[in-house]
């Protein structure tokens, strides 16, 4: 009875009209090898009967109605109602491996300096795009705190429904923010700002379902523009520390990053220009700023941070090698942002 009253892990699952996906997702949590858990389903005003159909005589399962509306309010309400020492996420359309929670808990207990742990994932479904396969490969390559910190500004490095974190970390973060953008990416960026460490154990522990009804496909808060806006806000608030900025790449990604920085309040004098390889771009201007050859990244003021806004597949390692040849350090002299 004590374990039921004070579970080790609380799993928060916000749900709105999850349909036939919900029952397998719930079963995958209630079927975990970890004994001391509770599952909180936060009903975000569902219009179907999926939640009613999964309600069963299991003392580990609680259904709570979101007093507000929308994912962020559902998440914050669910986390506030949780009893566990460790808090985990799950979505109503994904599938957890039976050892997921036990392995994450063991990882956190073995690594006391790690505050937030995700999992490697397998993206599956009827409409998995090629871009999602590349994203999966990138996600699954980022496991250590150093790897995640290094590539934090490329994309969201932790699959949201895979996460488990210490209650103390959640309390320091103060919950999810609702600024109209991706609430999970904002949370990881705020975690990094606070010095919290993030990691993943080896092995696929979550099967992440891709389908047309996913919020990432249907909700404007997960648009590319909102990801860039979130990224730019955090770059300016804490990551770039007032340093002069040079953008590597004057193509689409570089211009979008420039515009996001300006919209986030970047002072004009901090933006020195663009560097590029393309001979037809070099010597011209983008957004009124000069487009320089790569040597411009070497001749800029010594405190300049180069923001690499090139997302072409396979190019990242070549850029790293170029900087290494010129004794520039990733995270100190340059940072990937695409």
Using one digit for the tens of pLDDT, what is the confidence trace for 163-222?
999 999 999 999 999 989 999 999 999 999 999 999 999 999 999 998 776 776 667 888
Which of 193, 222, 251 is the C-terminal boundary of a domain? 222
Same-domain pairing of 109 and 257: no
The residues near 168 (Cβ < 8 Å, ≥ 6 apart) are: 115
Number of domains making up the chain: 2
- pLDDT computed for residue 314 by the predictor: 82
Same-domain pairing of 260 and 243: yes
- pLDDT computed for residue 218 by the predictor: 67
Same-domain pairing of 35 and 167: yes
Same-domain pairing of 167 and 238: no
Q: What is the pLDDT of residues 109-127, one digit of tens each?
A: 999 999 999 999 999 987 6
CA distance 183 to 193: 15
Which of 222, 243, 275 is the C-terminal boundary of a domain? 222
What is the 8-class DSSP label of residue 274?
E
Same-domain pairing of 217 and 234: no
Same-domain pairing of 84 and 177: yes
Same-domain pairing of 170 and 245: no
What is the Cα Rg of the chain in Å? 22
Same-domain pairing of 256 and 192: no
| Contact (CB, 8 A) for 298 and 326 | yes
Q: Domain holding 304: CATH number?
A: 3.40.50.20
Which of 222, 255, 271 is the C-terminal boundary of a domain? 222
Phi, psi of 248 (to 5 degrees): -85, 115
Same-domain pairing of 197 and 253: no
CA distance 184 to 177: 9
| Contact (CB, 8 A) for 6 and 77 | no
- The first and second tokens of residue 168, run together, are 């103390």
- pLDDT computed for residue 217 by the predictor: 67
- The first and second tokens of residue 304, run together, are 């300049």
Same-domain pairing of 205 and 252: no
Same-domain pairing of 19 and 58: yes
- pLDDT computed for residue 2 by the predictor: 41
Same-domain pairing of 307 and 266: yes
- The first and second tokens of residue 312, run together, are 């072409």
CA 91 to chain centre: 15
Q: Domain holding 66: CATH number?
A: 3.90.550.10
Mean pLDDT per block of 10 residues along the chain (338 residues) reads: 71 96 97 97 96 89 95 97 98 97 98 98 83 91 98 97 98 95 97 98 96 72 94 98 97 97 98 96 97 95 97 88 97 97
Domain that holds residue 202: 2-222
- pLDDT computed for residue 152 by the predictor: 98
- pLDDT computed for residue 258 by the predictor: 98
User: Which contacts qualify for 313-316: CB closer than 8 Å, 24 or more apart?
Assistant: 313/134
């Amino acid at each position: 009875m004590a374990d039921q009253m004070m579970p080790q892990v609380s799993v928060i699952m916000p749900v709105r009209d999850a349909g036939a996906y919900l029952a397998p997702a719930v079963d995958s949590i209630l079927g975990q090898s970890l004994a001391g858990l509770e599952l909180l389903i936060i009903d975000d005003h569902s219009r179907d009967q999926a939640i009613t159909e999964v309600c069963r005589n299991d003392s580990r399962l609680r259904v709570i109605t979101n007093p507000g509306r929308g994912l962020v309010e559902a998440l914050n309400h669910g986390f506030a109602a949780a009893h566990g020492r460790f808090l985990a996420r799950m979505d109503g359309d994904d599938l957890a491996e039976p050892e997921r929670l036990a392995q994450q808990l063991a990882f956190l207990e073995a690594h006391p300096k790690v505050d937030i742990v995700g999992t490697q994932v397998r993206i599956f479904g009827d409409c998995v795009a090629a871009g999602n396969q590349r994203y999966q490969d990138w996600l699954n390559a980022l496991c250590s705190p150093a790897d995640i910190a290094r590539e934090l500004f490329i994309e969201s490095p932790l699959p949201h429904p895979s996460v488990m974190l210490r209650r103390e970390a959640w309390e320091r973060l103060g919950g999810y923010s609702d600024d109209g953008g991706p609430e999970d990416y904002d949370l990881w960026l705020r975690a990094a700002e606070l010095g919290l460490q993030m990691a993943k154990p080896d092995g696929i522990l979550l099967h992440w379902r891709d389908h047309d009804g996913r919020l990432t496909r249907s909700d404007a808060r997960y648009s590319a523009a909102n990801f860039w806006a979130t990224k730019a806000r955090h770059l300016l608030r804490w990551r770039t520390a007032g340093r002069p900025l040079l953008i590597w790449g004057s193509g689409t990604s570089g211009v979008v990053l420039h515009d996001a920085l300006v919209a986030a309040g970047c002072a004009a004098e901090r933006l020195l220009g663009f560097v590029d390889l393309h001979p037809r771009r070099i010597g011209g201007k983008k957004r009124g700023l000069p487009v320089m050859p790569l040597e411009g990244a070497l001749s800029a003021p010594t405190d300049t941070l180069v923001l690499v806004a090139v997302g072409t597949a396979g190019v990242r390692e070549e850029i790293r090698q170029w900087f290494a040849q010129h004794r520039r350090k990733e995270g100190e002299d340059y940072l990937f942002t695409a």
